[in-house]
Structure 1
């Protein structure tokens, strides 16, 4: 099959070959990115692809057995020509790909989205892509996530380019040093060793200090990362510049996670590797520092998504399982009662059956908004499952709780208009009170509220029932 090429194809291939990434072993930096793509976008296939003259080669892949394919069948051959993300929602309906053997094969490719991976000079060397065997659309959030991950993969590529450039510079510098007087051989060896360490360790910033923490060397990456020009950093102490509380203890076998300070006093999460060496009987320490801001942001994003309901953006069941024991502990400490309201919508299945799940989802979002607006800012509303919600009320008087529950019934019963149809549902609520002296567990408290909710349903729905108190006390 034929494939399109860019006007700068020769220069693009030269940049790719100079990078020397083709036909190299797997690397954790790229494998982590493809794993995150499959998890965050919920796709079975993800690759980091380099596009050669006649083939596409996978530097990292999930869900693909082959190491490479011909360029003629490569979706990525189109991605590298695009300045924007390249999206194919259904390849079987796309004239460019409908006869592609990767599409016509059993369980063939249907969905594809790719982000170009560009060199420091702007050449598209390959792409980060997500694929599925089912047609689908890509949301703005998914596209933003893929672009963030592509930025991480691109930075790894840029790092290799810097290493290649550093090697070239080191070779040229070595040639110059070899022409100098023999009395400078010691200085040549010292400088060469430091450059080799920088290349070998491949961290963004390289800083050399003496036994007293005074800066002896400070590379360009350190200038960019911390805002201190090399001339101003030299001869200052490392604590004065970036580690005001002192340099973390050295560990030659492991990286150290710490917080550094920039020149503008902003903080930067970093990973540090410290290597000690003796030169002319004097101790020197080499610091290799890597900015982990993006990695921590991704970790926080994954943590948030694990505890947030995708549809309603409320805390999910996992988040409630963590919050409820904390609320019960506060109740025991403050001696203030805790109420748990278990709510189940009445008639929701009929809405799904009659108007479709999309309308049912919209109704859940509307009801979520109503519930949140009807309670205090300090109250905790979570989506338990399906059309079930849980509300935690801390420090509320028992006489007020039932009044609030009846108010919630009225709020939920307000019809929602969808086109010409009026959607009507109600809610049955079970209330379980947790008292400071109770020895009840979180699961037992939820069970009591759930049982009370079913009693409300059996009594005619759209009603409130208060669970029987437990006999056990601490």
Structure 2
């Protein structure tokens, strides 16, 4: 796949819920191997977010992220092939880059895109040297193999049934249940609704109060969602700060009532942690199967996600439903 739709790529990255997570030995082991085999001072697993590149694993540097605008990896994810810079000081694209002119003084860079199962480049496995150098085809093949292992590890995170932090279903398990509900709804000509929920400005909570407080906010919101639902409803943590709820046998009108109840409860939520008082709001998108007129779960989820982002664009702390028939392009 050539350079992807950036909004869709960012959504895909978000749904893996791996940004700003703690370091893990399984990923650190891979960067140590890359560093040693390539005999370089720096090896990284990067994830390219909207305005930054964040390091899922790092060897040879101490900082956790850099602005996206100066990252080599932004260029690397635009390709499906290894991105190689032999001497950045002689490359018009990079010779004035502060990553080159200042520490860590990048001169050589080799990055392998990390392609998700749906074909989106989430980031890279990359190696960096502070002097110009070449790279052999055999070395590129080794980096490709290591990048494949990174993606396998990331994909495996989606397989576990339950999110350890919130106790909700994880993405893969939710999709199994949602597809089952779709088949049942088609067979019996019944309706169901999807509510997509995203915490407004959640990164600022983590940045200001720390990840422990952010985790507590996520757990409290998960508790609110569960407290408003029936036993047949299916809530899940679908991304870092995004939740999805499937409401069987529910039309848009009734789903909006549930969504508004959740929105108000979260708006009133006060989280006390380590002397801090934290409040948050959420943006929500609501879609039902019959109004949407779609008979595959991915299309309906995408519709709900689109409405959620419309809610954010409309000022946040609000709900946007789908009204009337879906566009044929959707």
**What TM-score does the superposition give when structure 1 sets the normalisation length?**
0.35
TM-score (norm 2): 0.50
Higher relative contact order (CA 8 A, sep 6+): 2
Structure of larger gyration radius: 1
